[in-house]
Structure 1
């Protein structure tokens, strides 16, 4: 059966280079190939998105295949079928003639079929004396055989993308759930952290998410959420680890708090650099007499008054506020996140924050705050550092500086002429501890 002469379509339908290219592909179909027509149709259906075929077009292609007499498409039987429009409409579930013509044109444009139009545009077959078809005019199905490998590759790629999109959407759902619940846990448990900023970043990312994201957008959103997820998780884990270390240190403190009291006398200055210290080693000889308990917040704020300047309104009401100010002071001092994290893990979050406040109070006297903090952290790891002597030295230095400075005459109530309290009030017991003669 020779259809080489039927290259152009009948009537007013124009010829295009795409049609010519599709006909060339059809002529290159493998010789002797025999492919199951329904398996081919299933592959085309899976690849229809990449091909640009419509669902109505596939219904018409299915109807065309029912007119092919064999289950296998092969060159011996021929590839042309010649049903009338009425027959196609009946097997395509009764679509309208206009819809039929439109979607037949779509199948031709997609390269799934080729028109083999007769001189008068009718579809028919001419048979010889033996009953075999010698010439047929209608729709050529040979592109299905010629492009079978291409259709399989398209279908496989689409299946992979569909699976990847499904996995990306599942990952997206899990990331969203984890981030929201971890932020809520951080707020409910009072964990120090910039939760407002994390919530704002989360909302900005989600606002970029369309209702039906494709694979590229879903993966991009997942990558952004993964970074936020890691930050939120690390913030919570850092706090949990700090609590565990504090609990372990508190348990061990009951057994070793008086074992080597003299070791605290030199823990104040990790680098042994007098330019970074607020006093000499001799001035801390009486530190073993200080109470073995946590430092009161008020006492820390009296010694490290510079920390109040970092708070809004100069108000630090509790330890939670104090830890929040420490997060602000750390980058100002140039302390790296790793040094700060290590200090909190070894000392505990409160002790690390007090140490940072003391370093901030010393100002330019500490040449390298990050190195100084690392040194103190190493000493704390060996049990040779406590924040008590550090804070007491700063408090003593502030009291001595106040005594050495000439002050204007005061009223009987101890206030200056402007009514402002210029002195630092301490308890008698604490004053005796600070003024205790050196041994």
Structure 2
């Protein structure tokens, strides 16, 4: 036919329809496009084009009336002409009024163009070698295929960013809840831990529903600020708990045994250095620490470790798999050390010797710290005996051992 109509039969025309009609005059891609691939990409980008899933269902039925799989490949025929009844049958009995509404949405979106006959019927006629068809023109699907693919990729990228941000917020919420619980056990006098815990709970409730990207970013900022504050408080508390008297720290140094790395720190005796120290409180503190192992009759409570239990639990994790109950007190740690000691190959005599010279609590700290680097220690029993010998003459402290483990975890 020499003339292509642009107005629909007995329907109003608007600027959108004229725009899409004019686009059909553009040249088609030379290779065409797979109709099922078009539908798959359009399904991913349907929200961006203002289409619903029911709209795509109607479009899929229209495409199914086209016999070829590749639209536009050596075939310039794009018009399908099924009746309303045939379309509704393939739509599993969808009401005709509903089908027409979705068809109208497809026309307004520019993915289907109406080619109505003079009487509004859909049909095809042959006049010699020429075929004239009236119905629905599917050529916009091929012309806009590249645009559809680009929008679909952008939608997938946005969905991926959303999923990653949601996962990040979920992990931040979990970390904040854990730090709040740990911080409340270390410094229960601070009310900020309850605020952090409440923020984690409220975030968990928000994550149960579909949030917008802006809402997730706002929650991420709030959690990030809370986590920074919680870490600052905990790091300050750890530094405070680990800060031994300055003069004691001046006389700390570590053995450079290459096989055991940082697991043999000791405190050097300050004999002969009295002139430098003078008769001060510092000298009293140093002598008190160094004489700890030289007084067998000293009360056991003076042999307690010089580090908090919470720091030991944070640095040593391996022993927890052997603990039947949660370790909350020093006697709980001693009980766990009694359990894992034979598994490490430490004899009862070596264990008794360590408890005698170090005290049960500090000996337990040494055992759980050794378990952290068990693969690097050739003879755990002999190693423990050597540390017990140093403790007997006042040249050992378990504090630097835990510090070494903390530096390893932070590296």
TM superposition score category, shorter chain reference:
0.5 to 0.7
- 4+ residue stretches of structure 1 with deviation over 3 A? 191-194, 196-210, 241-265, 286-291
Q: Is 1:224 paired with 2:217? A: no
Cα-to-partner distance string for 1:235-294 (whole Å, 9 max, x where unaligned): 2233334434439839849646676567678xxxxxxxxxxxxxxxxxxxx64598538x
Correspondence 1:35-434 to 2 at 5 A:
35-74=33-72, 76-130=75-129, 132-133=130-131, 135-190=132-187, 194-199=192-197, 211-246=209-244, 249=249, 252=252, 255=268, 287=280, 291-292=284-285
Aligned to 1:314: none
Conserved in 2, the CA contact under 8 Å of 1:125 and 1:136? Answer: yes
Cα distance 1:141–1:3, how it changes in 2: closer, same or farther (>3 A)?
farther
> Alpha-carbon deviations, 1:340-392, whole Å to 9, x = none?
xxxxxxxxxxxxxxxxxxxxxxxxxxxxxxxxxxxxxxxxxxxxxxxxxxxxx
Contact 2:177 2:196 in 1 (8 A): no
Once the two structures are TM-superposed, the CA of residue 196 in structure 1 deviates from its matched residue by 4.2
- Structure 2 length-normalised TM: 0.58
What's the offset of the Cα at 1:56? 1.0
Number of the residue aligned with 1:419: none
Q: Distance in 2 between matches of 1:250 and 1:146?
A: 79
CA contact (8 A) 1:191 1:239 kept: no
Deviations 1:121-158 (A, max 9, x none): 1111121223x42x221111111011111100110001
Structure 1, unaligned runs of 5 or more: 266-285, 294-439
- What number of residue pairs does the alignment pair up? 272
Distance in 1 (alpha carbons) for counterparts of 2:274 and 2:205: 58
Give the conservation status (yes or no) of the 8 Å contact 2:165–2:216: yes
CA contact (8 A) 1:84 1:123 kept: yes
Question: Residue in 2 aligned with 1:341?
Answer: none
8 Å CA contact 2:181, 2:197 repeated in 1: no
Corresponding residue of 2:26:
28
Deviation at 1:226, TM superposition (A): 1.9
Aligned to 2:125, the other structure's residue is in SS state strand
CA contact (8 A) 2:115 2:135 kept: yes
CA distance in 1 between partners of 2:41 and 2:16 (Å): 22
Q: 1:112 to 1:65 in 2, by over 3 A?
A: same
TM-score by length of 1: 0.55
The answer (yes or no) to whether the contact 1:261–1:288 under 8 Å persists in 2 is: no
> Root-mean-square deviation (CA), in Å?
3.3
